[in-house]
């Protein structure tokens, strides 16, 4: 079987080549799977996972994405986990070719740009996304982001169909990004980009953090959906000096939803379904 890079040369048109001069990105993996979180839960997505993140959340289940890696894993057949290892960074031409190959059976509902923090590759995305739209015009482009880099998202907002933004509650994540979150939401609303907010909640969640979340969303647009996602306990510690985050009590989640629905009409509780069905 040919490797993705050798086959992609026959898949990418000259427009991709012209647009991609010096355009490279550091990836972790590309694969096809069922989306297990957020508003797209249950849909089939083609995931492009970018390397590097500038956050260090206490509950992170993808610490392998925090730094750039020398190689990445590219799935050959959608859903079969038949990965081939490729060196980083990858070129725009190769990435487009790999995505085209995985979508050969047209089973995907959208493409998910995830990480890590994909916005750390904003300059690459400015070149990559127009080519991707030309090659796969029927696939919506969905960004999964920490929502803390409004300075980077603005340049690619016109190239996105939807955004899933994590609201980092300090009492759960250990990160405090309120100001950036507020600016991020305002930018998306101003540009009329479809967005929802996800907040991971645990047994350490505070009412102050939940109230601040509701206030920020309400100030940007009260119709933005908010998803409360109970944390999935990790089998090992990400931060050795921090206890394993535990899921909140069901009665607490019900009370939090009631509290938030006083200011926001759309508040849902959705756990990580992909972990429930063993799709990691």
* Per-residue pLDDT reduced to its tens digit, 168-206: 999 999 999 999 999 999 999 999 999 999 999 999 999
Query: Per-residue pLDDT for 2 more than 50?
Result: no
As to burial, measured by CB atoms within 10 angstroms (0-12 exposed, 13-18 middle, 19+ buried), residue 95 is buried
pLDDT, one tens digit per residue, over 221-275 is 999 999 999 998 766 555 666 677 889 999 999 999 999 999 999 999 999 766 6
As to burial, measured by CB atoms within 10 angstroms (0-12 exposed, 13-18 middle, 19+ buried), residue 179 is exposed
Provide the 8-state DSSP code for 243: P
Domain 23-276 indexed as CATH 3.20.20.70: yes
Query: Per-residue pLDDT for 115 more than 50?
Result: yes
What's the rounded Cα separation, in Å, for the pair 69 and 5? 18
* Contact (CB, 8 A) for 50 and 113: yes
What's the rounded Cα separation, in Å, for the pair 218 and 213? 9
Tell me the β-bridge partners of 137.
none
Mean pLDDT taken over the chain: 89
CA-based nearest residue to 87, from 131, 132, 33, 24: 24
Report which of residues 60 and 114 the model is more confident about: 114
Query: Per-residue pLDDT for 16 more than 60?
Result: no
* Contact (CB, 8 A) for 244 and 233: yes
CA-based nearest residue to 103, from 121, 120, 79: 79
Q: What is the dihedral of CA 171, 176, 178, 183, to 10 degrees?
A: -140
Query: Per-residue pLDDT for 276 more than 70?
Result: no
**Domain map of the chain by residue range?**
23-276
Q: What is the pLDDT of residue 232?
A: 84
CA-based nearest residue to 109, from 145, 161, 168: 161
What's the rounded Cα separation, in Å, for the pair 216 and 214? 6
């Amino acid at each position: 079987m040919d490797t993705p890079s050798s086959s992609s040369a026959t898949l990418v048109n000259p427009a991709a080549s012209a647009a991609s001069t010096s355009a490279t990105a550091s990836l972790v993996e590309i694969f096809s799977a069922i989306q297990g979180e957020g508003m797209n839960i249950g849909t089939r997505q083609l995931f492009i996972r970018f390397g590097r993140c500038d956050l260090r959340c206490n509950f992170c289940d993808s610490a392998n994405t925090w730094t750039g890696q020398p190689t990445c894993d590219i799935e050959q057949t959608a859903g079969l986990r038949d990965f081939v290892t490729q060196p980083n960074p990858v070129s725009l031409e190769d990435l487009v070719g790999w995505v085209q190959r995985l979508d050969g059976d047209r089973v995907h509902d959208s493409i998910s740009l995830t990480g890590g923090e994909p916005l750390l590759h904003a300059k690459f995305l400015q070149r990559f996304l127009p080519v991707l739209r030309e090659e796969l015009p029927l696939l919506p482009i969905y960004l999964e982001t920490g929502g803390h880099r409004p300075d980077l998202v603005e340049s690619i907002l016109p190239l996105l169909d939807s955004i899933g933004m994590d609201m980092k509650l300090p009492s759960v994540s250990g990160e405090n990004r309120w100001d950036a979150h507020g600016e991020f939401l305002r930018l998306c609303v101003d540009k009329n980009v479809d967005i929802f907010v996800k907040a991971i909640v645990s047994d350490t969640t505070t009412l102050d953090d939940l109230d601040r979340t509701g206030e920020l969303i309400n100030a940007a647009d009260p119709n933005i959906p908010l998803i409360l996602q109970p944390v999935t306990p990790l089998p090992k510690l990400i931060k050795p000096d921090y206890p394993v985050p535990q899921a909140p009590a069901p009665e607490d989640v019900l009370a939090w939803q009631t509290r938030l629905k006083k200011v926001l009409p759309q508040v849902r509780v959705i756990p990580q379904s992909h972990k429930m069905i063993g799709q990691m």
